[in-house]
Amino acid sequence: MKDQKKSGAVLKFFITFLVYILAAAAGYFLTAEDPFALPLLPSRGDEESVQKEEAAEEEEPSGDSGEETEYLGEKASEETGKEDAAAGKEADKAKAGELMDLAGENPWKAFESIDYCMIGDSRVSGFSIYGFLDQTRIFAEDGAVITMMRDYYTSFEALAPERVFISFGINDMLTGIWNGPDVYAAAVLEEVNALKEHAPDAVYYVNSILPALSPALDKEAVWQQVPEYNEALRKMCEENGFIYIDNDPLVEEHTGLYARDGIHVGPDFYSFWARNMLSFYAGE
C-alpha cells in the first residue's frame, strides 16, 4: 500500500513537469514569427555599407566645428581688410609726400601731375595769364561772381576733373546781392552743388576769400567783413563735405606780393598760393 502511494506521487510529479514543458514550448511557438528559422548573418554588401556609414560619421565635422571655421574665416578676412586699408593709407601718405616734395621744387609740375581745374575771378585767371598753368583748366575772368560758374558747365563736364579748386568772393561782396556772411555761404553751397551735378565724383575745394588790402580796403568798407565771410564759408564746407582752404596765413606772410591796388596779387604770389592749395590736397 505504501509502495503504491509512492509510485503515484512520482507519476504525479512527472506529469506536472511534462505539462510545464509543453506549456513553455507552446508559448514559444505562439510568439515567434518563424520558430524554425536560423538567425541571419549580414551579407558582405551590408557589412560594407555599415562600415562606410560608421566612417562617414567619424569624418563628418560637428556643427560647432563648422561655426568655428566660419568665424576664423571672417576674422582672417577682417584682418586682411585692415592690413589692406593700412597699406593703402601708407601708399597715399607716401604719394602725398612725393607731391609736396615736387611742389616745393616746382608747384606747376605738381599741378600737372593731378587731374584738376580752377574756377574763379580775376585772381584765379592769373594762373593762366602768367603762363603758370594750362589755360584749358582755368575757368575764370575779371569781375566774376559765384553764379558765373554756370557759364562753364559744358566745358567743365567735358573736362571731368577729379579735383576742383574754387575761389570767388571779393566781387560778390561788392554786389550787395548776398547781404551777409551766412546768406553768401548758402549761395556758394547752392552753386557748388549745382556744379557738382556735372562732375559728381570730384573733390571740391573752396578757397577762403583773399582779403583786400590798402588802398582798396580803405575805399570799400564791406571788404572789412572778409573774416566773417570766411568763417561762414568754413562752417558751410565742414557741414557739406567740401574742403575749405585757409589762405589767411599765406596772405599774412606775403602781403608784400600784392599788387599796388590792394586787390589783385602779383605773379610771385601764385607759387605760394599754389603750394597752399596742394597742401590741402595732400592733407586729405
Residue 150 confidence (pLDDT): 98
Residue 137 confidence (pLDDT): 98
Burial class (CB in 10 A: 0-12, 13-18, 19+), 126: buried
Q: Which of 15-24, 26-35, 57-66, 196-205 has the highest mean pLDDT?
A: 196-205
φ, ψ (nearest 5 deg) of residue 94 = -65, -40
Task: Note the pTM of the prediction, 2 decimals.
Answer: 0.70
Please check whether residue 107 is in contact with residue 274, taking contact to mean a CB–CB distance below 8 angstroms: yes
HSE-CB at 158 with a 13 A cutoff on CA atoms is: 7
CATH number of the domain enclosing 207: 3.40.50.1110
pLDDT in tens, 108-145: 999 999 999 999 999 999 999 999 999 999 999 999 99
Residue 154 within a domain: yes
Walk across the sheet containing 116-120 and list its strands.
138-140, 116-120, 163-167, 203-207, 243-245
Residue 15 within a domain: no
pLDDT at 36 over 60: no
Residue corresponding to grid cell 549745382: 194
From 59-63, 94-98, 123-127, 267-271, the region with the lowest mean pLDDT:
59-63
Q: Work out the number of other CB atoms within 10 angstroms of the CB of residue 139.
A: 24
**How far apart, in whole angstroms, are the C-alpha atoms of residue 102 and residue 282?**
12
Quote the Cα angle for 173-175-178, to 5°.
65
Residue 68 within a domain: no
Residue 79 confidence (pLDDT): 73
Residue 189 within a domain: yes
Residues of the chain above pLDDT 70, percent = 69
In the 8-state DSSP scheme, what is residue 126?
A: H
Residue 35 confidence (pLDDT): 46
Residue 12 within a domain: no
Compute CA 124 distance to the chain's CA centroid, rounded to the nearest angstrom: 33
Residue 114 within a domain: yes
**How far apart, in whole angstroms, are the C-alpha atoms of residue 116 and residue 202?**
9
DSSP for 28-57 reads HHHH-SSTTPPPPPPPHHHHHHHHHHHHHH
pLDDT in tens, 186-244: 999 999 999 999 999 999 999 999 999 999 999 999 999 999 999 999 999 999 999 99
β-strands 163-167, 138-140 pairing: unpaired
Over its C-alpha atoms, the chain yields an Rg (Å, rounded) of 47
Residue 4 within a domain: no
In angstroms, what CA-CA distances link 86 with 77, 80, 96, 97, 98? Answer: 14, 10, 15, 16, 18
Residue 162 within a domain: yes
110: closest CA among 118, 100, 119? 100
Please check whether residue 128 is in contact with residue 83, taking contact to mean a CB–CB distance below 8 angstroms: no
Please check whether residue 269 is in contact with residue 130, taking contact to mean a CB–CB distance below 8 angstroms: no
Domain count, the chain: 1
**Which domain does 102 fall in, by range?**
92-282
- What value does the mean pLDDT take over residues 60-82? 65
Residue 30 confidence (pLDDT): 47
